[in-house]
Structure 1
Amino acid sequence: MTAPNPAAQPRQFLEYLYQVAVKRALPLHNTAACLPPPPKGRTLVLGAGKAGGSMAHAVEALWPADAPLEGLVVTRYHHTPPRPEGLKQRIEIVEAAHPVPDAAGRAAAERILALTQGLTKDDLVLCLISGGGSALLTLPAEGLTLEEKQRINKALLESGANIAEMNCVRKHLSRIKGGRLAAACAPAQVVTLTISDVPGDDPSIIASGPTVPDATSCAEAVAVLQRYGIAVPGAIMSLLEQGALETPKPGDAAFAGHAVHLIATPQQSLEAAAEAARAAGLDAHILSDEMEGESREVGKVHAALARAVAQRGQPFGRPCVILSGGETTVTVRPLPPGAARGRGGRAGEFCMGLALALQGQPGVWALAADTDGIDGVEDNAGAFVAPDTLQRARAAGMKIDAYLDRNDAYGYFQPLGDLVVTGPTHTNVNDFRALLIL
């Protein structure tokens, strides 16, 4: 990829930085060094996540052609990449719903758990785990229906809870997450290859950690549910309060000899984008790969920083690029009776907060997008903000406050032609944000 001229093509330049960040996180570039040698017995590949299909293809391409390989991976609908020409299929890939689980995800989880039966100490299980696995690998706890799990999951997504809080609950309401999949694989050797989409890169949070020990407790899950006012069936709440749905903990013998490798992280992608910006003659600054908080508020903070740089050359000199990653949240606001709910995700909501706070600041352009190519449940990856964004919207009769009130980033940026649409990228290292200040 050749970098567009930042001054002449600011939007194209920001899209280029996004593409560089995504490319750095693609599994085929990062998997080979983490693969163990073939075992004496079987090699079983199990996995879940938005990058599941591309991770499976990478393993098939890199695994010795004469060594046995089989397995099952579940990914999001429409996130299975085209099979490279000449690559023999040895790992089955199925698709299911995200972010709210469905029956296809439950069926896949049941099949994955069943495949662990009969494993021996001579066998190897390669677990391919990436963001989105919490919804895709859904196997509700005994006594909890799929419909109840869907309702709880949707409530968590709309509550403003952060990813660690959501996954604490998900682990304790599952028969496969929170280390339970690894425990089911005993006595086989387990090697987990994971792509991080969470602040801090904690493998126990990525996809709710199906193959790693869980340090959280039932009591913490109860506290999260109470904090956000999320109801669960009385019998399930009683089991949580009694500790009857506890997960395998650090030090459990089930994890002896297991290995976990992070093959791609948000920081690595941000560093790749920063290097590309510097190669184009710009200073580049990474704020953090662990930013959390309400999306629109994080947007306002970024705007304050960008205005300081644009107006006073502090704390960074112009021209420059400011990068950040992490996982922000969107609290879905109550609507008046009869009002229509907006469409959008974290990246779009960030961009609305940013644009409102920038107030048309000259010399500042921005892009925010999810590295999986899908912002929430829409068909866009994110959105683009320019110095004239508010002006163009007002000319079209669009008041940004009204769109923020109903969480309607898609409805705001689509008429402006400022949605970022990439389609599924087949990886996922979460939020990518880039501000260009000239």
Structure 2
Amino acid sequence: MPGIIIPKGMEQPDLPREVQVLRGSHPILDSSSIESTRKVLSNMKELNEASVAIVLISGGGSALFELPVEDISVQDFASVSKCVMNSGGSIQELNGIRYTMSQVKGGKLARFLYPARVTALIISDVPGDDISVIASGPLVPPDMPENALRENLERFSALCPDLARVKDKLDLNLPESYDGIFRKVQNRIILKNSDFVDSIANILREDGSVVRVLYEPVTGDVHKVSEFFVETARTMYADLHRPFFLVAGGETTVTVHGNGIGGRNCQLSVMVSTLFSRDEEFAFASLGTDGIDGVSPAMGGITDSVFRNRVTEKEVEASLDKNDTFTLLDKYRSAVISGFTGNNVSDIFICYYAGNSASNGN
């Protein structure tokens, strides 16, 4: 069966000869993704009512598979996406804008596949597993009313000059749920963040550790999330009276002010460490499952009591001001570098907490 894939960070996966591997870019769109997308769409022209198409969708598809609407350049698309991300936009808000700049997102890919029978197998990198958000929902009608979409555009047009400049060129004619192009489309999630969370929790339990799991996705601004984890760890310890692990998944947002090297996971791991006192025993990991956090070469960081007592307040303040948290983590050998993992189910958070030295009698 012939096929085409556009992976991230994989030169030549071990696949049958009939499967062609094309290049793409993530998280910021470039010309390689557009060229590859055109080739994929060209292969769809021969589909008919008797055809069957299997579509594999995962996190990263928002940039790896993309074709901007006419009069929107790759530079426009990339700069707008980057600005929305750096302005603290959530994945839902970012995708709402991508829908209007794209010929294949927000359900629009279904127009190219129709009238074939389509089965989409999806790996979710989105907290809550909303399939209209994963890879910007190429085969799902957008779950965003037109008024909310316009409000989203107005808000970020005020923050992003490039978006304001191209606003009149955007395509607001998005597919509706009742559109016939979705009649023969089935979307199935085959792997998600909670599966990974369960796996980590089970491994820790097998080692005899006390484990608590948060099944509600942890999302929001990195400042609020860091406070949440510290407060939750202390509250749970007051109830348990013994060391434990807290495991969760989700995705934070960061407003970028500096031009340093880092990402949301690096930033969260540093911020959590600063909120624990120097006499508390803890370890905290914030990791991106795709292996790459923001503009850093790391998947995130692991900080602990040793890191907390070695790093200076001046160093922490400078790294946060510049969004340069990878550099700080790397200096203290606390950055986790795995390279591309070939998968993406959003972020994983692991917190170990054992109280403070006074309560432990040390």
The answer as to 2:271 corresponding to 1:356 is: no
Q: Which of 229, 233, 258 does residue 185 from structure 2 map onto?
A: 258
Which amino acid in structure 2 is aligned with residue 400 of structure 1?
Answer: V
Which residue matches 2:10? 79
Contact (CA 8 Å) 1:172, 1:218: kept in 2 or not?
Answer: no
- What SS class does the counterpart of residue 247 from structure 2 fall into? strand
Q: Distance between the aligned counterparts of 2:322 and 2:277, measured in 1?
A: 20
Aligned residue for 1:206?
134
More strand by share: 2
The one-letter code sitting in structure 1 at the alignment partner of 2:323 is N
Say whether the 8 Å CA contact 1:383–1:419 is kept in structure 2.
yes
- Give the Cα separation in 2 of the matches to 1:141 and 1:316: 55
Number of corresponding residues: 352
The residue aligned with 1:102 is 30
Q: Give the corresponding residue for 1:325.
A: 249
1:272-299 Cα offsets, whole Å, 9 max, x none, are: 1111111111121122352211123312
3-state SS, counterpart of residue 111 of structure 1: helix
- The answer to whether residue 360 in structure 2 is matched with residue 433 in structure 1 is no
Change (3 A) 1:235 1:72: same
- Please tell me the residue identity of whatever aligns with 1:408: D
User: Contact (CA 8 Å) 2:59, 2:123: kept in 1 or not?
Assistant: yes
Q: 1:191 and 2:119 equivalent? A: yes
Supply the AA of the counterpart residue of 2:329. F
Alignment-derived partner of residue 419 in structure 1: 335
SS of residue in 2 equivalent to 1:367? strand
**Structure 1: segments with no counterpart, 5+ residues:** 1-68, 336-340
Query: 2:31 & 2:169 partners in 1: Cα distance?
Result: 24
Determine the structure 2 residue equivalent to 1:299: 226
**Pick from 214, 221, 224: which aligns with 1:287?**
214
1:81 to partner: Cα distance: 6.5
Work out the CA distance in 2 between the residues paired with 1:146 and 1:417: 37
CA deviation after TM superposition for structure 1 residue 220, in Å: 3.0
Q: Deviations over 1:22-51 (max 9, x none)?
A: xxxxxxxxxxxxxxxxxxxxxxxxxxxxxx
User: Whole-Å Cα distance in 2 between the matches of residues 113 and 196 of structure 1?
Assistant: 23
SS in 1 for 2:220: coil
Q: Which stretches in structure 2 are left out of the alignment for 5+ residues?
A: 355-362
Mapped to 1, the partners of 2:331 and 2:183 lie a distance apart of: 55
Q: Is the 8 A contact 1:199 1:326 kept in 2?
A: yes
TM-score under structure 1 length normalisation: 0.76
The letter of the residue matching 2:80 is I
Alignment match of 2:315 (pick from 394, 399, 423): 399
TM-fit CA distance, 1:435: 0.7
State the Cα deviation string for residues 192-241 of structure 1 (Å, max 9, x = none): 0010011110111000011122232554333223223223466742355x
User: 2:168 aligns to what?
Assistant: 238
Residues 49 and 116 in structure 2, CA contact (< 8 A), matched pair in contact too:
yes
TM-score (norm 2): 0.92
**What RMSD in Å do the two structures reach over aligned CA positions?**
1.9
TM-aligned CA deviation for residue 93 of structure 1: 1.6
CA distance in 2, matches of 1:428, 1:91: 21
Q: Percent identity at matched positions?
A: 29
Q: Distance in 2 between matches of 1:330 and 1:287?
A: 22
Give, in whole Å, the separation in 2 of the partners of 1:140 and 1:71.
Answer: 23
